[in-house]
Amino acid sequence: MEVILKNLTKKFPSRDKKKHEDVIAVNDFDFVIPDGKLIGLLGPSGCGKSTTLNLISGLQKPTSGQIFFGDDDVTNLPPENRGIGLVFQNYALYPHLTVRQNITFPLENLKGKDKLTKEQMNEKALEVAKMVQIDELMDRKPGELSGGQQQRVAIARALVKMPRVLLLDEPLSNLDARLRLQTREEIRRIQKETKITTIFVTHDQEEAMSISDMIVVMKEGVVHQIGKPQEVYDKPINLFVAKFLGTPPISVFEGKVRENKLYIGDDAVLDIAGVPNKDVYVGIRPEGFDLKEDGPLCCALRGVEVMGRDSSVIASHSACLNEVIRAIIDTDTAVDAEGDQVRFALAPHKVHLFDKETEARIDFESR
C-alpha cells in the first residue's frame, strides 16, 4: 500500500511560557512512501518522528494537509478504520492476558461478515506467532518473557489483522545491544516476507541505514533528505545530514578554495575544479583518510585503536571542528604509533564541501 503525505503539517501550542510561538512538529511533509517498502524515519529526538507516525496512524489529527493510503483519503478516518498495525517502544501488552490472547485481541472486535470463531482466531495467532518465532510461548504471560520476546508479541499483534501499513515507533530502543541487532534483522525478514509497507521510526542512524529501503532524514519538523541509505550517505544534501549519518562521524574542517585548490589550514589537500574561491566546510568520512608519508594533510597523532578487521587512527588538527579525527584504515597498514604526527592523502569521493552560510553541499570535480 502506497502512503502519500500531501502538505502534511502539525502544530502544537507552545509549552514554553516565555515563547508563545507554536511548535511546528511536522512542517509541510510532501512525499510518497512506496508500496511494499520499509522506510526509516530518522532524526534526533524531538524532530517530529512520532508525531508523523501518529498522524499516519490517526492517533493525532493534522493541522493541515492530507494522508492517502493508495487512492483512499484516510485523513479523517479514525485509527481503527485505517488498517494499520502499531508497535511502540514499550511493547504495551496486556499483562493479565496470555501471549495468545494478546495476539488475538485485535480480532475480538471484528463484526458482521468479518467476525471470526475462536478456532479461526487461534489459527491466525499461531500463524503470525510462527512468523516472529514465539509459537512455543503462546500460554505464557508477558511478565514471563524477555524484552525481545515481548516485542515479538507486540509485532505479532500488529500483524495479525494483516494491516495495510505497519508503523513502528522506536521498537528496539528498550532492548539490549545484541537483541536489538537480532530483532531488527527479524523485522527486516518479516517485512520482506509479508511485503507490508512499513514505516520505522528511529533516532539511531545505523539502525535506520541497516534495514531501510529508503530513509527520510529530518530535523526540527523539516525533511532534509529522502533517499536510499547509501545514496544519502554518499551524497548528503547538507552538513546536518552529513554529520548525522555515519559511525565514526564525519570529520569537519574549516577550509577554503583558492585557484582550484582545496586548503585545510595552510595545506593544499586536494586539486579540485568547478568551485569559485570561497571559504567552505570540508567534511571527510573516516574511510576517506589514506595514510601516506608525504600526504598533504598533517595531523597530530593521538593514538591507534585496533578493532578486528580495521584500525582507527585518532588524530587532531587545529582547523577541525570535531574534538578528534577518527580515520579508519585496514589493519595491514602499519602506523607508527610512537610518532607525534600522521599524514594523510584524501580520497576525493569521501570528501564533501559545504557552503559556510547555507551549509548546503557544494559539488566539485576532483582532478
Residues that bind Mg ion (CB under 5 A): 50
Pick out residues in 8-67 that bind ligand ADP (CB under 6 A): 12, 15, 23, 25, 43, 45-51
Three-class SS state of 298: strand
Size of site (CB under 6 A) for ligand ADP? 12
Return the one option of Mg ion, ligand ADP, none that residue 326 interacts with (CB less than 5 to 8 A, by type): none
Question: Cα separations (Å) of 50 from 56, 91, 314?
Answer: 10, 15, 36
* CB count in 10 Å sphere of residue 193: 9
Q: 74-95 burial, b if ≥16 CB within 10 A, otherwise e?
A: bbeeeeeebbbbbbbbebebee
Nearer to ligand ADP, 47 or 132 (CB): 47
CB of 116 to ligand ADP, least distance (A): 35
CB of 197 to ligand ADP, least distance (A): 20
Q: Which three cell numbers stand for residue 245?
A: 549519518
Return the one option of ligand ADP, Mg ion, none that residue 15 interacts with (CB less than 5 to 8 A, by type): ligand ADP
**Residue nearest Mg ion (C-beta atom):** 50
CB of 9 to Mg ion, least distance (A): 18
* Residue 313 β-bridge partners: 304, 327
CB of 200 to ligand ADP, least distance (A): 13
Q: Which three cell numbers stand for residue 219?
A: 530535523
Nearer to ligand ADP, 53 or 353 (CB): 53
CB of 53 to ligand ADP, least distance (A): 8
Nearer to ligand ADP, 42 or 257 (CB): 42
Nearer to ligand ADP, 25 or 262 (CB): 25
CB of 61 to ligand ADP, least distance (A): 12
Nearer to ligand ADP, 23 or 328 (CB): 23
CB of 33 to ligand ADP, least distance (A): 17
CB of 206 to ligand ADP, least distance (A): 17
**Pattern of binders to ligand ADP over 92-131, x per CB under 6 A?**
----------------------------------------
Return the one option of Mg ion, ligand ADP, none that residue 238 interacts with (CB less than 5 to 8 A, by type): none
Distance CA(111)–CA(101), nearest Å, equals 18
Residue 16 CB-density burial (10 A; 0-12 exposed, 13-18 middle, 19+ buried): exposed
Return the one option of ligand ADP, Mg ion, none that residue 164 interacts with (CB less than 5 to 8 A, by type): none
Distance CA(268)–CA(283), nearest Å, equals 15
Nearer to ligand ADP, 17 or 111 (CB): 17
Q: Which three cell numbers stand for residue 293?
A: 608519508
Nearer to ligand ADP, 15 or 178 (CB): 15
Return the one option of Mg ion, ligand ADP, none that residue 297 interacts with (CB less than 5 to 8 A, by type): none
Nearer to ligand ADP, 169 or 186 (CB): 169
Q: Starting at the earlier edge strand, list the strands of the sheet with 38-42.
A: 84-87, 165-169, 197-202, 38-42, 214-219, 222-227
335 neighbors 286 (Cβ within 8 angstroms): no
* CB count in 10 Å sphere of residue 178: 9
Return the one option of ligand ADP, Mg ion, none that residue 47 interacts with (CB less than 5 to 8 A, by type): ligand ADP
HEC secondary structure over 57-114: HCCCCCCEEEEEECCEECCCCCHHHCCEEEECCCCCCCCCCCHHHHHHHHHHCCCHHH
Helix residue ranges per DSSP H, the chain:
49-57, 99-108, 118-131, 147-159, 177-194, 205-211, 229-234, 239-244
Q: Interface with ligand ADP by CB under 6 A: which residues?
A: 12, 15, 23, 25, 43, 45-51
